[in-house]
Structure formats: C-alpha cells, structure tokens
Amino acid sequence: MAILDQVLSGLLGGGSPLTGVLTNMLSPRSDAGASGQGAGQAMGGGLGGLLAAFQQAGLDHVAQSWVGTGPNQPVSPEQLQSVFGHSQVQGMANQAGMAPHDFLSQLSQHLPRAVDHLTPDGRLPDEGTASV
C-alpha cells in the first residue's frame, strides 16, 4: 500500500483522521465485498468497489469524472450519505474520530482528489499496482 499511503499523505498531510478511512476505502482486500453489492463494496473494495457504489446510487457520472482526465465534478456530503448509507457513514466517522456531518464534509473535499491522483491516466490501475 506504499503508493496509496504516499498519495493520501500528500493530499491530506500527515496525521489526518481521514487517512485511515480512505486507505480502507481505496485498498482492495480479498475479504471485501462479502455483501456482494452496494456501499459494502466501497469499504475495502478498492476503486472498483467505490465506483460500483456510486453507480448504484445513480452518481456514476460524478465518480467517473474523478477517474477521467477532465475536471473533477464535486460531490456533496448529502450525495456521499446516499452512496454509503447511514450505518457505514457512522462507522467511518467513528473510525476517523469525527462527527458524521464533519466527516462527510471533509470526505467530499478529499475523495475526488484522492481518486483523481490514483487514476492519472484516466483509468483504474491494476489491482496489484494500486495496493503496492
């Protein structure tokens, strides 16, 4: 996960409470997605799982703008709430040590940039390279 850690540290600065949450969200894990669909894929499902969760929430165009080479579309805290759902937002906010509203506000600022930096060529990296 060295590349992911470097990207997130560069974007967020050292010690940000979002670093751990974003690392979990963007890192592919073999046990991720056990629920099979929805926001459950987003946590630990890597970029593919995150994009699938946005697609299921009807926000595929927003997330795809972060992957593509054009400008990043913004995402609101309310849109993130619809992607992840109440219980997952609560869990991620607890992990970050933040109130859910503050967490969603911060995530809406940093998630587009993190995905953009992880997809510099406008496409998803191979799973092996995203987690090295």
**What confidence tier does 2 reach under pLDDT thresholds 50, 70, 90?**
low
Q: What pLDDT, in 10s, does the model give residues 31-76?
A: 444 343 444 445 657 889 999 999 999 999 999 999 998 999 999 9
2-9+19-29+36-124 maps to which CATH number?
Answer: 1.10.10.690
Q: What pLDDT, in 10s, does the model give residues 8-22?
A: 777 777 668 888 899
Higher pLDDT, 124 or 48: 48
Name the H helices within 69-132: 77-84, 86-96, 100-118, 127-130
**What confidence tier does 101 reach under pLDDT thresholds 50, 70, 90?**
very high
Model pLDDT, residue 43: 60
Model pLDDT, residue 27: 83
Is residue 7 packed enough to be buried (19+ CB in 10 Å), middle (13-18) or exposed (0-12)? buried
Contacts for 87-90: CB closer than 8 Å, 24+ residues apart: 88/39, 88/40, 88/42, 88/43
Q: What pLDDT, in 10s, does the model give residues 103-113?
A: 999 999 999 99
| pLDDT for residue 129 is more than 50 | no
